[in-house]
Amino acid sequence: MTQMPRLNLKLCPECGAGLAAGAPVCWLCRRDLADSSEVVMAELVPDSKRVDALEIVLAISTLVIVVLMVLVGIGCFVSAPGLGVAYALFAAPPLIITLLRTQRQQAATGKVSWADRLLTLVLSTALSAGVAMLLAVAAFIAFFVWCWYMILSGG
């Protein structure tokens, strides 16, 4: 985790407001600072742990997507086991890719944002869908060629 540089800041002795360098009066309480020798020096230190609202939304979105993928898979297995197997072959690679990529990035950098996890899941799902579409088109073309072969060969 990278540390933010510490900044020296002058504070008004009256109200504690941060002061611009060389300011003659406090911007908040209007205290005259020219004759005051009480100007306080302070350090800004970054918060140790800041929770970002976007990270929470992305974490919840990722969780919802994964839970929905699992529930759809369970539904497919219950209604038609063959369809469940096909769905598992379609849904497992994006989940595995997301898990492996986030573990690798966690080991390399120490932190993986939920945006990276969600983006990886969505892109790998799109890639998996693209591969499934290509396989479907290839199967259709193979079936079409086989049918024409059978027709032309008189079989």
The model's pTM is 0.52
End-to-end CA distance of the chain: 70
Per-residue pLDDT of 81-102, as tens digits, reads: 888 888 888 888 888 888 888 8
- Average pLDDT of span 126-143: 92
SS (H, E, C) 93-130: HHHHHHHHHHHHHHHHHCCCCHHHHHHHHHHHHHHHHH
CA distance 84 to 146: 28
For 119, counting Cβ atoms within 10 Å of its Cβ (0-12 exposed, 13-18 middle, 19+ buried), the class is middle
Question: What pLDDT is attached to residue 12?
Answer: 80
Q: Which residue has the higher pLDDT, 50 or 61?
A: 61
